[in-house]
Structure 1
């Protein structure tokens, strides 16, 4: 499944730095500031800003087969762009009916499903279908974002910049539009070295409800085994609905809210497709770094990915072993395991294909060409001449610290006792003083602790803590380990096992009941609590390492900025900026995958699914009995083709993390499928685009409708979809 790298930034401190100091994020986050200014752009490469389609892409899209005007895709009146929505913070969805029915990926719905899994009803395994609107399940902490207008307001901002700096001008124009559209969120994005500005007027809906999902062994057939692989057979989809207040405005959940009423929604096509047919997707890709330097990519493969892989491999093995022991633990950790495994496999594939495709050496060639270009101009040489060399030196010096920081952030990123202490320990330390002036504090901390502790099992957490501490002492030099490890003599597996057993038994944080008892009667000094001390020691070292990385990044900023600013001049012509969670369009054609002299067809079928299940003992290929029955009877209804059934297909478009759930549209702007993954050969998408290797994997809309028809316990969803089309 496609995941946004934004989801991997779990450190609260890193999040605060992003919010407060975007100009000093550091070389390891500067990818958000690089722009891919591409000469000789190929029609199937690029995550394009919709506001520039008419200027940059209209003719190419028509040549590939687009049948509708560009204005139909995006305009001030909404068009197709208004129906492609942001699903939470890291996925995409589509509105597909006039009553707010929303279609996205099943894997994007994990957290929503998790909220309603119970010991007696595992809807991951059983599926869920709301028979009436009153049975649709409210989802906590899920926001759907709709772009009402997307406007290029570059002239307006540049006019403001005649008397103000860029930041002041952006703020002034933002305030102006916020006053004009008070019910909208105004998002103004700057591109091309503050020379182009795009405004997004958005509505954010907070009452979102789960409507229907099929069983997980149908929607995620192939599981983690098939993740990032082609061919695929997953029915990766789920239905939700947007609700509003009685006036049609966004509102928090209320029983009196009504389904969104809208004229703008995407229509579905069951006509099918052929090889070489035009295909385009819209979505919210989160991050790319298409102009990363060769040493930035080397740092990714040598300093960042290895600790990520090591930590996740260790933790996932424990989760998997524990989940196999208990259905309750499987319910508890299913989402965390899937989320972790996704980027774990991505990192492995990225390292493999960066090496296989010689991407570092190719980037070095580009950098030599850039260096030759500036050497021919004395003014450019003076401005940019040493930028890459100085940046490289800082990255190499910082590499050990960045490696250590990754171990710390990855090691303690998931729900657990130490993660809880890092996030909320200060509130417990100040509890006895603050309770006197804030009478709701006990209730608030009780609620916070309860909601956190319900996301992990204490025995599993203890086992993971032991494993992570052992990994740290084996992987990091002593100077990058907490001094506390030496104080407590934590330098062997046996000493760590004994110590962790002792402190989990002694600590008030080692049991949610003991923690509640302490809140009721805080007689024990919390600063002396052994788990509190361990958590503080680890966090103090993480902060120290982070501070070193941050200091180096501040030094590197002027070098990276100089290089970045030169690109607009060096690589002119049409361009697309790197992904940044704004709505983008990618296009190409439906096409086979050619690999190592073999051709892998662009489409999979139900027959292939059955054969895969029959020829494997892997539990990821478990065949649901209804699928078996459908194959035996060839009961494919109006969606079948020659005794078989289309399941998935691929295109050669350009997507990345955040595009999960994006609609794949045909030449007339109708949904033919749903983007849910990229192929194994495309793990380098963050840094480049390989026309002949990178594929976008989609579930066929006809297969989604068939599964809805056969698995749903109610006819109303199909009736709503058919009425809308």
Structure 2
């Protein structure tokens, strides 16, 4: 744990003697520009050929109107008939839900040759940014006189909901959200148009869309055809509507023009998208928490979970399909987290942040007005994280117990439903609540069973309870301690037996025997429900403490950013928070290690060379090799390579959520689709540096070549005007 008090006092004289107030520039904090900050981005100087207003101009149509948010990813309209290009992995869950052992679209891909053949993309919705307004003053005024941390965060969240609901009442066609731009400091109201009917149009086969598998994930050189095409539908009147046969393709305000000539090395490029979350404006202790607790714990847990899920689906295609999305998400996160750990150590980021925070503390103490206002800030931050570190294991266990064990989620739904029923006065009122809500409860439970496997649940549940048994001090799970288990094996076996004996372990038995009517639900209980209820009671108490800490952090981080802005004499670009951003750079290679250089283009030749390894993840369609040997490149070859470029590398600032973002050239034309970062760039969430931060996209020429020469999806090219 960082002891700021002693470090600050020891360094005071030294820092003042060497010009302490020159803040370190070793960790750039800019690169993901909100639309309101485009004038600060320097786009024209960097190489943009179109006007900034062609990208975004309030009240006018611009490139941003072609952007969509597809669940947790980004996509873009590429035709006037609602056709969207995004990543294969962004459509993965919908493809999984549409697949079966008989029609395995995950493995074999899918091509709809007309509108009638397009398939419902279950679980996918589309959001389009309509407008936004800064509402920071209204929110911060609401908490100006509140000192209690828990009450502060509660009031902020309540006010955010209130403002969003007000916006929705003013315009019922939009969905509104108030996003926190700087924690505890600035808030923006975003208005979104939502499209609920999304359909699968063209999904490449798995050995194209996932070529390289987890071996190549977060790795360069890359040869992955990570693209998919979807279509947005609305009602015949143009309003948002759920999936229905009578719905019609959505007509976007703007769609992107495809440039089939692609790009060259060093060309200017930019991305519009919805990057998830970055945490660059956080103190050293936050980085230490990531390095010591969250990243290693989560990566190891997900590694274990995936081993169990892969084992369960090895000889059962139905189970393999049911668990596919969960495995893919876990694998992506755990490799990302291990990349972050590597970056944290290689960059000595905790130590670098310590130095910055120490210098910041001296800046505060050097000025009377700042010392009066922020004098205790850095010590208060340290005190906050001491409390966080003290219960880190417990927090992470609680955060993962339900997502790890599907039947505990089901038990939570059942217990919560029963609790609501029992709160009603009289049998008639209780039965009425049952009838009104049973369909919604079943819908919620159906989602849990969609990725459930009994053997997997038992193995992971056993691991979680064995871990909890070994926690000590403030990290002890009191429910586990009170059960007085004799060993970790005893704790693990108890949850296994509860999972085995519960009627919840069979969806059919649950619906037939427990949820069949009001009285059956009231009368049913078992050990699994009792365990979940005991854990929920303890988690509720723990959550109260967590909300209080969250309120404290909200106030501290607002002050932290405010004083850093004074120190650096500049305003910051806020951390990414799933709102629309722009980033730009160049097609550019890099040197990740001594005596090495990574070129910015890969080719079909390289894909075939990987295939020669004999590894399963490097298998590819034979038609690719046939076309390549025949030099059947069409118009999609890069002349200096005498080959079709597959993936491209660039120094733009991206993170999770930028998956599927359109890569555009200086004229605003689509030349690729972003899908990943290099392994060294997984640290981007915490720090960005031009020397090692590289992102990866699929070259549009490869997308067009695959559609044309391999999958015979020429209708896609025609619709996009190629």
Same topology, TM > 0.5: yes
Whether the 8 Å CA contact 2:75–2:86 is kept in 1: the answer is yes
Aligned twin of 1:133: 115
TM score, norm. by length of structure 2: 0.86
Aligned twin of 2:5: none
Aligned twin of 2:257: 267
Task: Summarize the Cα distance change of 1:669–1:497 in structure 2 as closer, same or farther, 3 Å threshold.
Answer: same
CA distance in structure 2 between the partners assigned to 1:106 and 1:68 by the alignment: 30
CA distance in structure 1 between the partners assigned to 2:28 and 2:360 by the alignment: 25
Q: Please, which moves more after superposition, 672-681 or 160-169?
A: 160-169
The answer on 1:708 being equivalent to 2:707 is yes
CA distance in structure 2 between the partners assigned to 1:650 and 1:617 by the alignment: 26
Whether the 8 Å CA contact 1:268–1:672 is kept in 2: the answer is yes
Shift of residue 148, structure 1, vs aligned partner: 3.6
Structure 1 runs not aligned, ≥5 long: 1-36
3-state SS of paired residue (1:540): helix
CA distance in structure 1 between the partners assigned to 2:206 and 2:569 by the alignment: 47
CA distance in structure 1 between the partners assigned to 2:499 and 2:138 by the alignment: 62
CA distance in structure 1 between the partners assigned to 2:23 and 2:62 by the alignment: 28
Task: Summarize the Cα distance change of 1:45–1:649 in structure 2 as closer, same or farther, 3 Å threshold.
Answer: farther
CA distance in structure 1 between the partners assigned to 2:418 and 2:481 by the alignment: 24
Task: Summarize the Cα distance change of 1:636–1:497 in structure 2 as closer, same or farther, 3 Å threshold.
Answer: same
CA distance in structure 2 between the partners assigned to 1:327 and 1:159 by the alignment: 54
Q: Map 1:660-671 to 2 at 5 A.
A: 660-671=659-670
CA distance in structure 1 between the partners assigned to 2:456 and 2:530 by the alignment: 21
Shift of residue 627, structure 1, vs aligned partner: 2.2
CA distance in structure 1 between the partners assigned to 2:439 and 2:383 by the alignment: 51
Q: Map 1:513-662 to 2 at 5 A.
A: 513-516=508-511, 517-520=513-516, 522=519, 528-573=525-570, 575-597=572-594, 598-614=596-612, 616-642=613-639, 643-662=642-661
Whether the 8 Å CA contact 1:157–1:170 is kept in 2: the answer is no
3-state SS of paired residue (1:509): helix
Aligned twin of 1:453: 449
Task: Summarize the Cα distance change of 1:102–1:115 in structure 2 as closer, same or farther, 3 Å threshold.
Answer: same
Whether the 8 Å CA contact 1:93–1:661 is kept in 2: the answer is yes
Task: Summarize the Cα distance change of 1:317–1:46 in structure 2 as closer, same or farther, 3 Å threshold.
Answer: same
**1:196-231: per-residue Cα shift (whole Å, max 9, x none)?**
776644321111111110111111111111111111
Q: Map 1:78-477 to 2 at 5 A.
A: 78-88=61-71, 90-149=72-131, 181-187=171-177, 200-414=190-404, 416-428=406-418, 434-474=430-470
Shift of residue 479, structure 1, vs aligned partner: 6.0
Whether the 8 Å CA contact 1:91–1:659 is kept in 2: the answer is yes
RMSD: 3.2
Shift of residue 653, structure 1, vs aligned partner: 0.8
Shift of residue 108, structure 1, vs aligned partner: 0.7
Whether the 8 Å CA contact 2:409–2:448 is kept in 1: the answer is no
Whether the 8 Å CA contact 1:435–1:441 is kept in 2: the answer is no
CA distance in structure 2 between the partners assigned to 1:351 and 1:159 by the alignment: 39
3-state SS of paired residue (1:674): strand
CA distance in structure 1 between the partners assigned to 2:238 and 2:26 by the alignment: 42
Shift of residue 625, structure 1, vs aligned partner: 2.1
Whether the 8 Å CA contact 2:461–2:496 is kept in 1: the answer is no
Task: Summarize the Cα distance change of 1:40–1:371 in structure 2 as closer, same or farther, 3 Å threshold.
Answer: closer
Shift of residue 654, structure 1, vs aligned partner: 0.5
Shift of residue 667, structure 1, vs aligned partner: 0.4
**1:216-256: per-residue Cα shift (whole Å, max 9, x none)?**
11111111111111111100011101112223232222221
Aligned twin of 1:508: 503
Shift of residue 135, structure 1, vs aligned partner: 1.6
CA distance in structure 2 between the partners assigned to 1:443 and 1:184 by the alignment: 27
CA distance in structure 1 between the partners assigned to 2:136 and 2:550 by the alignment: 29
**1:615-649: per-residue Cα shift (whole Å, max 9, x none)?**
x2332112222223223323222112354210001
Task: Summarize the Cα distance change of 1:175–1:77 in structure 2 as closer, same or farther, 3 Å threshold.
Answer: farther
Task: Summarize the Cα distance change of 1:177–1:497 in structure 2 as closer, same or farther, 3 Å threshold.
Answer: closer
Whether the 8 Å CA contact 1:275–1:602 is kept in 2: the answer is yes
3-state SS of paired residue (1:379): helix
Shift of residue 450, structure 1, vs aligned partner: 3.9
3-state SS of paired residue (2:676): strand
Shift of residue 577, structure 1, vs aligned partner: 1.0
Aligned twin of 2:17: none
Task: Summarize the Cα distance change of 1:170–1:438 in structure 2 as closer, same or farther, 3 Å threshold.
Answer: closer
Shift of residue 664, structure 1, vs aligned partner: 0.6
Whether the 8 Å CA contact 1:527–1:533 is kept in 2: the answer is no
CA distance in structure 2 between the partners assigned to 1:41 and 1:62 by the alignment: 25
Shift of residue 609, structure 1, vs aligned partner: 0.9
The answer on 1:50 being equivalent to 2:35 is yes
Shift of residue 158, structure 1, vs aligned partner: 6.8
CA distance in structure 1 between the partners assigned to 2:406 and 2:169 by the alignment: 44
**1:12-64: per-residue Cα shift (whole Å, max 9, x none)?**
xxxxxxxxxxxxxxxxxxxxxxxxx999899994100112212x12xx32222
Aligned twin of 1:20: none
3-state SS of paired residue (1:241): strand
CA distance in structure 2 between the partners assigned to 1:87 and 1:250 by the alignment: 15
3-state SS of paired residue (1:638): coil
Q: Please, which moves more after superposition, 439-448 or 266-275?
A: 439-448
Whether the 8 Å CA contact 1:288–1:656 is kept in 2: the answer is yes
3-state SS of paired residue (1:282): strand
TM score, norm. by length of structure 1: 0.86
Shift of residue 265, structure 1, vs aligned partner: 0.5
Give the number of aligned pairs: 678
Structure 2 runs not aligned, ≥5 long: 1-21, 145-154
Q: Please, which moves more after superposition, 624-633 or 108-117?
A: 624-633
CA distance in structure 2 between the partners assigned to 1:206 and 1:546 by the alignment: 33
3-state SS of paired residue (1:594): coil
Shift of residue 282, structure 1, vs aligned partner: 0.6
CA distance in structure 2 between the partners assigned to 1:498 and 1:48 by the alignment: 52
3-state SS of paired residue (2:673): strand
3-state SS of paired residue (2:684): coil
Task: Summarize the Cα distance change of 1:488–1:636 in structure 2 as closer, same or farther, 3 Å threshold.
Answer: farther
3-state SS of paired residue (1:145): strand
Aligned twin of 2:672: 673
Whether the 8 Å CA contact 2:65–2:253 is kept in 1: the answer is no
Task: Summarize the Cα distance change of 1:321–1:172 in structure 2 as closer, same or farther, 3 Å threshold.
Answer: closer
Task: Summarize the Cα distance change of 1:42–1:357 in structure 2 as closer, same or farther, 3 Å threshold.
Answer: closer
Task: Summarize the Cα distance change of 1:490–1:118 in structure 2 as closer, same or farther, 3 Å threshold.
Answer: farther
Q: Please, which moves more after superposition, 240-249 or 224-233?
A: 240-249
CA distance in structure 2 between the partners assigned to 1:430 and 1:558 by the alignment: 35
